[in-house]
Structure 1
Amino acid sequence: MKDGKDPSSHCSRTLQRRQFLKILGVTGSVLALNPASGTRSMLATAVSHARPAPGDIPKRPLGRTGIEVSVLCFGGAHLGRIQDESEAVNLLHHAIDAGITFLDNAWEYNGGRSEELMGKGLQGRRQQVILMTKLCSHGRDKKVAMRQLEESLRRLKTDYLDLWQIHEVVYDDDPDRHFMPGGATDALFEAKRQGKVRFIGFTGHKHPKIHLDMLSRNFPFDTCQMPLNTFDGSYRSFEHDVLPVLNERGIAPIGMKSLSGNAEPIKQGILTPQEAMQYVLSLPIASLVSGIDSHDVLKQNITIARHFSPMSTAQMDGLRKRVAAFAMDGRYELFKSTNRYDGRIGKEQHGLA
């Protein structure tokens, strides 16, 4: 970081906890409690001040935008993999009816099918949700991005997006490509000028330094999406290096890959879905993108969100230490060190496909 501070220091972690508790509505007198003796009561007070009605999915502010989103964000990539169209639409309806108000998508997900299915599911429900999709120019110019915007709006059957993000900023030269004259960031400005987009951001899963490069350009991003999970703290950590910067600037952090992208640690019994999701939701983030491809997964994730209570610092440290032996070599975060999780179009634009 340019100011020379160590993002993983105790001060940075304290800042994150303070900001998170502020989001939950904690007063300064509560924050003055001794962490060693008062953490649980402090967090309990925070939750009691912000707790929604019984059975509701909690909401949090989307950074400085002035709007709130559900702590769970419905992932569009998984939606497009459901073969039966009516089943996919029904699943989306159940998610919205259950209180998920934030929807994720991208122009390139499943060749556009994800946006098409979501568009069909949103008929008559558009005003109930905060709708996000992503441009996938992957370093091409503003014209490509604006064409994709029109295609996304048509597929989603809407005339505006609540949030439009640059998708998959994962290569070292991506920031320069997106900030070139007539590039993706110019498209973000143009879309806002035309009233077709309310808020703007970017996403990526590869390396914190790439996110920090994007943020160093002092562009007015409203959101930033990144991988956050129990393993992240020990390997190329977005939690330590990027999350504090976002919270300092009022840019809404959106988490993803809480189950490490393929849920392999869950399958191997290293931790449970509840532990994995509760950990990320205990971080100072606005929302967590959740890949949901069945009613069973939807029910599981909604239950976790509805019964969420923030973990204490000690509990989070304990979980990180418990998985540290599996985390230090990045074996469960291969999206950071390989291109097997990178999209085909992005690899093609970088000569890797």
Structure 2
Amino acid sequence: MGGSSDVSRRRFLQNAALSGAAAVSGVGIARRADAEGAGGGAGQAVDPRSTEASGRVMNPIVPDFAGEYGGKVPEFQVPKRPMGKTGLQVSILGMGGFHLGSAAGQKEVTEMVAKALDHGINFFDNAWEYHKGMSEEFVGTALKGKRDQAIVMTKVCTHGRKKDVAMQQLEESLKRLQTDHLDVWQVHEVIYYNDPDKIYAPDGVLEALTAAKQQGKVRFVGFTGHKNPLIHLDMLNRGFAFDTVQMPINAFDPSYRSFEREVLPVAVQKGMAVFSMKSMSGSGEPIVHGALTPTEALSYAMTVPGVSTTISGMDSMEVLDQNLMILANFKPLGEADMNALREHGKQFCDGRYELFKSSLKYDGDLGRQQHQFPTAEEVPA
């Protein structure tokens, strides 16, 4: 294995591996990792055959499998891991709810969910605010008659509001998802420095999490966020007994405001289930620019020790098929390959491929409004 300069030089040569991936899913490879919040055009596609995307990957660190099998997904079962200390077994890849809400419609989502379940994917992410409830409605209908095969997670979107708002949202989520209970209910988008104060305040959302568990409407509870590991640590250090936590994990993260280095060890020590997201940076920017292949991005995230499942955004059957073909060949990466990917990521330590940390792009409008900030669209260019 060459040094990081050799890897970087190879990545600015002919885009052979990326072209192979594009043969499977066309422009869809740009729409991959789960968008935490619906802000700023998450899920927009960039054609990987464009001038900006060309001239990149010739010899990736991890061989790319997305173009294998002649475009036909083989029969196999996605591996499972313990979901923290919950006692549940969760597939190493989960389906992101925001992107399912961006799919062509209910028919496609139903077919995608059925195919995912057939291959052993059993974790389904969502949030009360995704597509104004349509994401939950799509998944609820798709899981009708199959609820017992799935671990269903959605997020409560109070953004600082009180317990009563949270409990009302819970009832709405249960109705949309057509279920009498959630497997996981998480506080959505904890990304502002005063969020822990608001969340831990009396008559706040944590009291709703506790009440929902006591009422049997929720099995496990947690929180999510994508902005700064210090905010996650503040949430964890204040003492509430969270069962789960969701955070960005990718090959660029170790070099910039790292959740993997700072938050993951604390969560693992507490026995929490860790849900990783943004393996491809939210909208696939490093894929279309040739900084990573889809196989490298997913393989890195799924190999990081302590991660229960990697939530990936899939808004079409083509994207699901690509991810399944990567999974069919997946084996956890060795330490040399993991270190090579981290070393490669160091040259991008300015946040260009983690815009959810460095910009407003992935900050949801509802959260910004509740914090009395202008939305991303309202901020002057």
Category of TM-score, reference length = shorter chain: 0.7 to 0.9
Three-state SS of the structure 1 residue aligned to 2:90 is: strand
Within the candidate set 329, 332, 338, 1:316 is matched to 338
Q: Distance in 2 between matches of 1:307 and 1:252?
A: 25
Within the candidate set 245, 264, 289, 2:311 is matched to 289
- 1:262-319, CA deviations, whole angstroms, 9 ceiling, x for partnerless residues? 1111001111010011011111200000101111111111222232211122211111
Q: 1:11 is matched with which residue? A: none
> Does 1:221 pair with 2:238?
no
Work out the percentage of aligned pairs sharing the same amino acid.
55
* Alignment TM-score, normalising by the size of structure 2: 0.77
Structure 1 residue 85 displacement after superposition = 2.0
- 1:110-151, CA deviations, whole angstroms, 9 ceiling, x for partnerless residues? 000000011110110000101100000001000000000000
Three-state SS of the structure 1 residue aligned to 2:201 is: coil
> Does 1:131 pair with 2:133?
no
5+ residue gaps in structure 1? 1-53
Q: 1:37 is matched with which residue? A: none
Three-state SS of the structure 2 residue aligned to 1:105 is: coil
Q: Distance in 1 between matches of 2:336 and 2:345?
A: 15
Within the candidate set 164, 169, 174, 1:143 is matched to 164
Q: 2:175 is matched with which residue? A: 154
Q: 1:43 is matched with which residue? A: none
Alignment of structure 1 residues 331-346 onto 2, 5 Å? 331-346=352-367
Q: 1:212 is matched with which residue? A: 233
Q: 2:141 is matched with which residue? A: 120
Structure 1 residue 84 displacement after superposition = 2.4
5+ residue gaps in structure 2? 1-74, 375-381
> Does 1:242 pair with 2:263?
yes
Equivalent position amino acid for 2:94 in 1: C
Alignment of structure 1 residues 1-353 onto 2, 5 Å? 55-284=76-305, 285-326=307-348, 328-353=349-374
Q: Distance in 1 between matches of 2:239 and 2:292?
A: 38
Contact 1:81 1:293 in 2 (8 A): yes
Q: 1:49 is matched with which residue? A: none
Contact 1:102 1:131 in 2 (8 A): yes
Contact 1:230 1:276 in 2 (8 A): yes
> In terms of mean alpha carbon deviation, does 164-173 or 316-325 score higher?
316-325
Contact 2:128 2:173 in 1 (8 A): yes
Contact 2:108 2:317 in 1 (8 A): no
Contact 2:352 2:358 in 1 (8 A): no
Q: Distance in 2 between matches of 1:294 and 1:320?
A: 30
More helix by share: 1
Q: Distance in 2 between matches of 1:84 and 1:57?
A: 25
- 1:226-254, CA deviations, whole angstroms, 9 ceiling, x for partnerless residues? 00100001000001000111111101111
Displaced runs of 4 or more, over 6 A: none
Contact 2:255 2:345 in 1 (8 A): no
* Alignment TM-score, normalising by the size of structure 1: 0.83
